[in-house]
Amino acid sequence: MSERKPPAWTPSWPVAEGRDRDLYFYLQPTEGYAAGARARVAGAGEMLMLGSYSYLGLNGHPRITHAAHEAIERYGTGTHGVRLLAGTLDLHKALESKIASFKGTEDALVFSSGYLANVSVIACLFGRGDTIICDKLDHASIVDGCALSGADFVYFRHNDPGHLETRLKAARPSGKRVVIVDAVFSMDGDVAPLPEIVGLCRRYDGLVMTDEAHSIGVLGATGRGIEEHFGFPSDAVDIKIGTLSKAIPSVGGYVAGSRAMCDFLAHQARGFIYSGALPPPQTAAALAAFELILAEPERVKRLHANMRAFAGLLADSPLDARRGESAIFPIVCGDDWDGWKLARYCQKNGLYVQCIPHPVVPKGSARLRASVTSEHSETDLRQAVDIITRGAAELGVALRVKRPEAAE
Ligand code: PMP
């Protein structure tokens, strides 16, 4: 028998070279968390965390942990199957009605991840003969849902309502049309222009769908998301997707909207029908977290103050940082290797922040993706900007005016 050639599994990033050059900081095991936005990282000790989505610092909150423990005591750790058959708990129903009231909708439906919620909802609600119009920077799970749906699928230029109008005008006259945007763009941290999008969708008879992965708990005076941020009524958005794994310290995703839509999805969306239900402790944790966001409004206020403070510090620094509109702040390095080098500088100096390279972001726009939380102190934020600025100056990267030569 001839010798079998092993298949070539070549990742799109130069992972092996990154490891060899000590420039690889993905998949680092965290061993635990400490108070005040600190993480204990294997081999590195305690670090200042500037790369987590724990926007409201709720992970480990005693009420959430207690709710998760209680749920394990009562239901165990699993659900033994899918929601439609024997997998639905009263906890799932309580979480869905909590999400619906938080988002001001008739109903909500919980999925086992935000990724699954986007893919299943889009592929179920839209199909051949319909038109889906997405912002060019929409999240991968939206793109995958569109591809699976079989609908006509076009992009409009990022946050460009004029281009969106061109796309709406060119959409098929028959069939449903929907505009899908991230409420906060996960790699750029800017906010979708909801007022213009809603206005255009009313004019051209389109549905509006938002992905609130990075806006729940972040945008709006009480953290309810993008409608609250713009002072819009909750029915401005028809289909509201969110995740339970960022500001909400659990796992899972949801869709919120009309009862008719949620009923339809519960009986038609393949990612809901054919996938196991959210486990009891995670469901109870998510439910307790929504309650806490409302019960402790100072968390959102602290986060907003930190977002403003960090934006101010970056504006006063020489760093090439994008304007801050959310809790996500990209610091643009350009070349992937420059991004990895700056990430290494930060990591070696006790700051946990990571580089997002191509193809996650367009070529030549690799960036450090910093996110602030309610738990950072002013000193933390200053220290973070100082470390990044020192690294940027030493390496000659991520500066508004670039130095000619970059040192390794
Ligand atoms: N949408 C956006 C904008 C996201 O950033 C993410 C997570 N990276 C998701 C959806 C998927 O959510 P989950 O992690 O719950 O699958």
Q: What is the DSSP string of 65-127?
A: HHHHHHHHHHH-S---SBIIIII--HHHHHHHHHHHHHHT-SEEEEES-HHHHHHHHHHHH--
Residue pair 375/53 in contact by the 8 Å Cβ criterion: no
Strands 131-135 and 177-182: parallel
CA 57 – ligand 1 centroid, Å = 18
Residue 182 CA: nearest ligand 1 atom is: 3
Nearest residue (by CA) to ligand 1, atom 13, is: 114
Q: Is 30 helix (H, G, I), strand (E, B) or coil?
A: strand
pLDDT value, residue 139 = 97
Please give the number of the atom of ligand 1 that sits closest to the Cα of 116: 16
- The residue from 139, 246, 341, 376 that is catalytic is 246
Q: Pick the catalytic residue: 139, 214, 341, 376? A: 214
Distance 140 CA to ligand 1 centre (A): 8
pTM for the model: 0.95
- Confidence (pLDDT) at 402: 53
Q: Is position 214 annotated as part of the catalytic site?
A: yes
Q: Which of 112, 113, 186, 371 is catalytic?
A: 186
* Paired tokens of 205: 């008879």
| Residues contacting 105, CB < 8 A, separation 6+ | 234, 240, 256, 257, 258
DSSP annotation of 191 reads: B
Nearest CA, atom 14, ligand 1: 114
What pLDDT score was predicted for residue 404? 52
**Can you state the percent helix, strand and coil of the chain, rounding each to 5?**
40, 20, 40
**Is-contact 211 242, C-beta < 8 A?**
yes
One digit per residue, the tens of pLDDT, for the chain of length 408 reads 678 888 888 888 899 999 999 999 999 999 999 888 999 999 999 999 999 999 999 999 999 999 999 999 999 999 989 999 999 999 999 999 999 999 999 999 999 999 999 999 999 999 999 999 999 999 999 999 999 999 999 999 999 999 999 999 999 999 999 999 999 999 999 999 999 999 999 999 999 999 999 999 999 999 999 999 999 999 999 999 999 999 999 999 999 999 999 999 999 999 999 999 999 999 999 999 999 999 999 999 999 999 999 999 999 999 999 888 999 999 999 999 999 999 999 999 999 999 999 999 999 999 999 999 999 999 999 999 999 999 999 999 999 975 455 444
3-class secondary structure, 285: helix
What is the spatial distance between Cα 360 and Cα 213, in angstroms, rounded to a whole number?
Answer: 17
Q: What is the pLDDT of residue 110?
A: 98
Residue nearest to atom 2 of ligand 1 (CA): 213
- pLDDT value, residue 408: 47
* Of the candidates 242, 179, 226, the residue with the CA atom closest to the CA atom of residue 325: 226
Q: What is the pLDDT of residue 405?
A: 53
**246 flagged as catalytic:** yes
DSSP-derived letter for residue 243 is E
Q: At 153, is the secondary structure helix, strand, or coil?
A: strand
Mutate to test the pocket of ligand 1, among 245, 275, 360, 371 (most ligand atoms within 8 A of CB): 245
Neighbouring CB atoms inside 10 A of 78's CB total 11
Ligand 1 centroid – CA 192 distance (Å):
16
Q: CA-to-CA distance for 172 and 61, rounded, in angstroms?
A: 50
- Closest to 250 measured CA to CA, from 375, 122, 144, 92: 92
> Measuring from each residue's beta carbon to the nearest atom of ligand 1, which residues come in under 6 Å?
113-115, 118, 139, 141, 182, 186, 211, 213-214, 243, 245, 253
Q: Check residue 398 and give left, alpha or beta (phi > 0: left; psi -120 to 50: alpha).
A: left
Mutational test site, ligand 1, from 186, 218, 356, max ligand atoms within 8 Å of CB: 186
Length of the chain equals: 408
Pocket test for ligand 1, best of 118, 122, 141, 369 (most atoms within 8 A of CB): 141
Ligand 1 centroid – CA 182 distance (Å): 10
Q: Which atom of ligand 1 is nearest to the CA of 252?
A: 15
Atom of ligand 1 nearest to the CA of 141: 10
Listed residue (57, 52, 99) closest to 296, CA to CA: 57
55 Cα to the center of ligand 1, angstroms? 14
In ligand 1, the atom with minimum distance to the C-alpha of 244 is 15
**Distance from Cα 243 to the centre of ligand 1, integer Å:** 6
186 is a catalytic site residue: yes
Which of 113, 91, 88, 136 shows the shortest CA–CA distance to 242?
A: 113
d(CA 237, CA 289): 23
- Cβ contact 133:157 at 8 Å: no
Residue 51 in tokens: 């790369």
Angle, to 10 degrees, between the axis of helix 298-316 and the axis of helix 378-395? 30
Residue 142's SS3 state is helix
Ligand 1 nearest atom to the CA of residue 253, by list position:
15
- For a pocket test of ligand 1, which of 138, 243, 282 has the largest count of ligand atoms closer than 8 A to its C-beta? 243
What backbone torsions phi and psi does residue 349 show, to the nearest 5 degrees?
A: -105, 20
The DSSP line for 289-350 is: HHHHHHH-THHHHHHHHHHHHHHHHHHHSSB-BPPPSSSEEEEEEESHHHHHHHHHHHHHTT
Tokens of 372: 């602030």
CB distance 277 to 111 below 8 Å: no
pLDDT, residue 300, reads 98
Ligand 1 center to residue 188 CA distance, Å? 14
pLDDT at res. 322:
86
